[in-house]
A and B are shown apart, each in its own frame.
Chain A
Amino acid sequence: MLRAAATLGPRLGRRLLSAAATQAVPAPNQQPEIFYNKIFINNEWHDAVSKKTFPTVNPATGEVICQVAEGDKALETLDNGKPYVISYLVDLDMVLKCLRYYAGWADKYHGKTIPIDGDFFSYTRHEPVGVCGQIIPWNFPLLMQAWKLGPALATGNVVVMKVAEQTPLTALYVANLIKEAGFPPGVVNIVPGFGPTAGAAIASHEDVDKVAFTGSTEIGRLIQVAAGSSNLKRVTLELGGKSPNIIMSDADMDWAVEQAHFALFFNQGQCCCAGSRTFVQEDVYNEFVERSVARAKSRVVGNPFDSKTEQGPQVDETQFKKILGYINSGKQEGAKLLCGGGPAADRGYYIQPTVFGDVQDGMTIAKEEIFGPVMQILKFKTIEEVVGRANNSSYGLAAAVFTKDLDKANYLSQALQAGTVWVNCYDVFGAQSPFGGYKMSGSGRELGEYGLQAYTEVKTVTVKIPQKNS
């Protein structure tokens, strides 16, 4: 799980380094052949009806990897830029666990027999919803694919999946594995393409019974509108966040600094649940800031195939420019730039690990999702105050609390309006535990038993019987 990375925490870089050194992680093939770059339907590969293709770009170099069929309506690192060692030890590990977890649910999602009034026998069937459209993002391409396929297939649905245009390659590779595993044709179909075309087509298709989307809140809105305007298809959304990470004065300082660093900077800052508002209680504020800056300065940015690298490039030029824009707004609005603040190289989309101190709630960088390696540190006095400020957001995806006190931990975990609250840890995921957002961070839950609900249609059957006995 990401917990694997979380428990590695401060020693993440070093531990991964030694894992690679002792060959626990196989050496990457930095120039893999791309076999699968078409559209996958009925277990077969097709060109786009329009014959159009689009390029997918390696964000480390800015060069085109290959052309991919554009659907109208060692690979992960090459496509996304995340460090290879993490891709292997974390992303892939979680993918396997998610698939195995949901494999176990397939024959266990029980309906019920129900003691209804009268001479009737009543029970429920948990049926698949039908054709499920799934639109997945570029930040964890394989993992997001597994999070969607696992519950959908375990409950017996069929899938039309649109993969992110920035990162289609690993999903298409998995499509071939689906064929090899022996899923009947038509059960999983994968369409690479763009949002306004392929994505929109899925969201408004009259024959798609349900759509699941992970991405920005802005697009999530469009999906829900399209679903409502077309055939009222069921909708689940996993959207953005501006998750508060609350450091109480009694926290274990070393651990809190490392976890807060990891919470923000992991995956190049490109996590929906990134701890992007670090609230530090005033007694320990100065020390925390000093240590966080030192940690950020020591973060190793470089070639993602290098096993020493902790941070690769941002995924594309659009994100790169957007993040630099936010950094500028931070400077202009009076936040204190403590380190970083610009590009880290002259080729590719690398940005320096950046830390802002003395951030105020009203600043743009305190309100909007940056999705990059930019850390905001804010000061607070009391626990009641920080609850109010943490909750003062239209987002509500995750939150974290660092404290040794039993009562404070309970108070905060109850008060915070977030789908996941981490206590003395961050980014701990398990296929077993549900994940999803309050408010505009999304609707519905993925993972765990709860993840099955969105892919199930409940049918009640009630049979008249001659005489009811309990």
Chain B
Amino acid sequence: MATTNGAVENGQPDKKLPALPRPIRNLEVKFTKIFINNEWHESKSGKKFATYNPSTLEKICDVEEGDKPDVDKAVEAAQAAFQRGSAWRQLDALSRGRLLHQLADLVERDRTTLATLETMDTGKPFLHAFFIDLEGCIKTLRYFAGWADKIQGKTIPTDDNVVCFTRHEPIGVCGAITPWNFPLLMLVWKLAPALCCGNTVVLKPAEQTPLTALHLGSLIKEVGFPPGVVNIVPGFGPTVGAAISSHPQIHKIAFTGSTEVGKLVKEAASRSNLKRVTLELGGKNPCIVCADADLDLAVECAHQGVFFNQGQCCTAASRVFVEEQIYAEFVRRSVEYAKKRPVGDPFDVRTEQGPQIDQKQFDKILELIESGKKEGAKLECGGSAMEDRGLFITPTVFSEVTDNMRIAKEEIFGPVQPILKFKNIEEVIRRANSTDYGLTAAVFTKNLDKALKLASALESGTVWINCYNAIYAQAPFGGFKMSGNGRELGEYALAEYTEVKTVTIKLGDKNP
């Protein structure tokens, strides 16, 4: 993912950065149906829904709208694919890994298509989709491909004359509900470990952004995953999402989205069949800049940290705490950055910020901006929609923000940077931690002791020191408190897609 510390890693030591890729103009959207058993289906109800391009506000195309009967059909297929003796269950682990590598190969082959689709559907800058979202997808697939035949149980020395060992088995049919901010990437974060561990899946992509998921379905078929291993049902939360969350034959669900909906998912999961739940939810992530920080680095990281992806990141640096000695200078430099952030057509290579995803988000962000003004924060720049430009919002900076303001407490999910002042370390630790969220935190300092102290004290699933959004397939990611349950990525992700069985064999007491 994005790091502001250097070029995106290309994986080979002397490989030069590729020439700027070009999006596919007038791309024809080929895959708009429900994907079950490696086949494309119309919805049982006959209904379709439209997906829109948030830059142009035009409809891209219609997509089959799934509902409970379609989910039932998908689960049936996934169960059949998971039966003992099935092609998928009998496959060597190494071969499962090989299939994931081959899927990564096809994603690489279709990288431009997928990046174009993602940009059309989300409004994110094409170069970001190509170099960040797609890069993350490919690396995550390859990372988990490597784990497939390394998922090891143990042989265990117990009391008594027995042989005791564990098997790390797949859970079974896993449901996944993914968001619209990084549609393909968030899907791959779930798909890769699920398949690596031998599960079968039923996925619901966000209704705002179903297209890249469906294209991925075509690649899954092309690679040759057995039918029923991966099934994709586009549709809405209250129908498809609810059906997945409460399905009695789905044994695990992974959800990325808002904390509000995350709670509903967990309730439905518990009420139905106690299916295992992992959640990646919201954040109000503190970014702590100490007086001894490298100021340029801190300003740039904090800027990218909050504005990246139109501010629509669960990791957004949406509470910047700056030590009072450098506060004024920090604000001044941040405003400079915000004012020159290029906002515009996501297919333009100069653009860093596109439109917000839809009207609902747009309205919510503007409402929070108004609350900032009303509650007494100082509006340094921006603060409104870009004139005559649909869902675009001017990069906005507030200073003199205090902890009780709404913009300091609620997740904005838009291009708004609240900057707060602090005096000392103990104070900022307490303030940073006084939230129900706990997804990420960042610290800017050159001092070893401060760095380690803050890393230990902050109640966040990830702490970044002198960097931001440094996310790697190898390192676990997830939230403390109400930012989520469980971890994605890294070896830790495997535990979420594995069921441990202990086998104990009593040995004969006499010599045989």
Listed in ascending order, the chain A residues whose CB lies under 8 Å from chain B are 97, 100-101, 103-108, 110, 121, 182, 184, 383-384, 405-408, 410-411, 431-432, 449, 463, 465-467, 469
Of B152, B505, B511, most buried by chain A (CB within 10 Å of CB) is B511
Measured CA separation A182–B16 after assembly (Å): 13
A-B contact pairs, 27 of them (CB 8 A): A100-B97, A101-B94, A101-B149, A104-B146, A104-B148, A106-B146, A107-B143, A108-B150, A108-B491, A110-B491, A121-B456, A383-B512, A384-B511, A405-B512, A407-B507, A407-B512, A410-B163, A410-B507, A432-B94, A432-B149, A432-B150, A449-B150, A449-B152, A463-B452, A465-B452, A466-B453, A469-B457
At the interface, yes or no: B46 with Cβ under 8 Å from chain A? no
A182/B12 in contact, CB under 8 A: yes
A424: min CB distance to chain B, Å: 16
A104/B150 in contact, CB under 8 A: yes
At the interface, yes or no: B147 with Cβ under 8 Å from chain A? yes
Chain A proximity mask over B321-335: 1 for CB below 8 Å, otherwise 0: 000000000000000
B497: min CB distance to chain A, Å: 16
B27: min CB distance to chain A, Å: 33
Interface size on B, residues (CB 8 A): 30
Residues of A within 8 A of B143 (CB): 107
Measured CA separation A445–B115 after assembly (Å): 45
- What is the chain A residue whose CB lies nearest that of B472? A107
A121/B452 in contact, CB under 8 A: yes
Given contacts A107-B474, A432-B94, 15 further A-B contacts (CB under 8 A): A100-B94, A101-B149, A104-B97, A104-B146, A104-B147, A104-B148, A104-B150, A108-B474, A184-B13, A405-B512, A407-B508, A411-B511, A431-B94, A449-B152, A466-B452
Measured CA separation A432–B97 after assembly (Å): 13
B85: min CB distance to chain A, Å: 17
At the interface, yes or no: B449 with Cβ under 8 Å from chain A? yes
- What is the chain A residue whose CB lies nearest that of B94? A97
Residues of A within 8 A of B511 (CB): 383-384, 411
B150/A410 in contact, CB under 8 A: no
A401: min CB distance to chain B, Å: 12
At the interface, yes or no: B448 with Cβ under 8 Å from chain A? yes
Measured CA separation A467–B148 after assembly (Å): 40
Residues of A within 8 A of B98 (CB): 100
Residues of B within 8 A of A101 (CB): 94, 149
At the interface, yes or no: B93 with Cβ under 8 Å from chain A? yes
A108/B449 in contact, CB under 8 A: no
Top 6 nearest A-B pairs by Cβ distance?
A104-B146, A407-B508, A407-B512, A408-B512, A465-B452, A107-B474
At the interface, yes or no: B357 with Cβ under 8 Å from chain A? no
Residues of B within 8 A of A105 (CB): 146, 150
A448: min CB distance to chain B, Å: 9
Listed in ascending order, the chain B residues whose CB lies under 8 Å from chain A are 12-14, 93-94, 97-98, 143, 145-150, 152, 163, 448-449, 452-453, 456-457, 473-474, 491, 505, 507-508, 511-512
Residues of B within 8 A of A97 (CB): 94
- What is the chain B residue whose CB lies nearest that of A387? B511
B13/A465 in contact, CB under 8 A: no
Residues of B within 8 A of A465 (CB): 449, 452-453, 456
* Among candidates A104, A406, A410, A467, residue contacting B145 with C-beta atoms closer than 8 Å: A104
Measured CA separation A184–B15 after assembly (Å): 12
B94/A467 in contact, CB under 8 A: no
Measured CA separation A383–B13 after assembly (Å): 58
A450: min CB distance to chain B, Å: 10
Given A100-B94, A103-B146, A467 contacting B508 (CB threshold 8 A): no
* Among candidates B147, B163, B453, B457, residue contacting A108 with C-beta atoms closer than 8 Å: B147
Residues of B within 8 A of A103 (CB): 146
Residues of A within 8 A of B97 (CB): 100, 104
Measured CA separation A431–B453 after assembly (Å): 43
Residues of A within 8 A of B491 (CB): 108, 110
Measured CA separation A463–B449 after assembly (Å): 9
Measured CA separation A449–B147 after assembly (Å): 11
Measured CA separation A449–B511 after assembly (Å): 34
Residues of B within 8 A of A467 (CB): 453
Residues of B within 8 A of A449 (CB): 150, 152
Residues of B within 8 A of A406 (CB): 505
Of B12, B145, B512, most buried by chain A (CB within 10 Å of CB) is B512
Measured CA separation A431–B146 after assembly (Å): 13
Residues of B within 8 A of A184 (CB): 13-14
Measured CA separation A431–B92 after assembly (Å): 12
- What is the chain A residue whose CB lies nearest that of B98? A100
Residues of A within 8 A of B149 (CB): 101, 104, 431-432
B103: min CB distance to chain A, Å: 15
Residues of B within 8 A of A110 (CB): 491
A123: min CB distance to chain B, Å: 11
Measured CA separation A106–B146 after assembly (Å): 9
Measured CA separation A108–B149 after assembly (Å): 12
Residues of A within 8 A of B163 (CB): 410
B415: min CB distance to chain A, Å: 34
- What is the chain A residue whose CB lies nearest that of B162? A410
B448/A463 in contact, CB under 8 A: yes
Measured CA separation A101–B97 after assembly (Å): 9
B102: min CB distance to chain A, Å: 12
Residues of A within 8 A of B452 (CB): 121, 463, 465-466
A411/B94 in contact, CB under 8 A: no
Measured CA separation A103–B143 after assembly (Å): 10
A81: min CB distance to chain B, Å: 29
- What is the chain B residue whose CB lies nearest that of A3? B92
- What is the chain B residue whose CB lies nearest that of A384? B511
B92: min CB distance to chain A, Å: 9
Measured CA separation A145–B263 after assembly (Å): 54
B146/A108 in contact, CB under 8 A: yes
- What is the chain A residue whose CB lies nearest that of B449? A466
Residues of B within 8 A of A466 (CB): 449, 452-453
B329: min CB distance to chain A, Å: 28
B456/A469 in contact, CB under 8 A: yes
B443: min CB distance to chain A, Å: 14
- What is the chain B residue whose CB lies nearest that of A383? B512
Residues of B within 8 A of A463 (CB): 448, 452
B464: min CB distance to chain A, Å: 17
A236: min CB distance to chain B, Å: 21
A411/B146 in contact, CB under 8 A: no
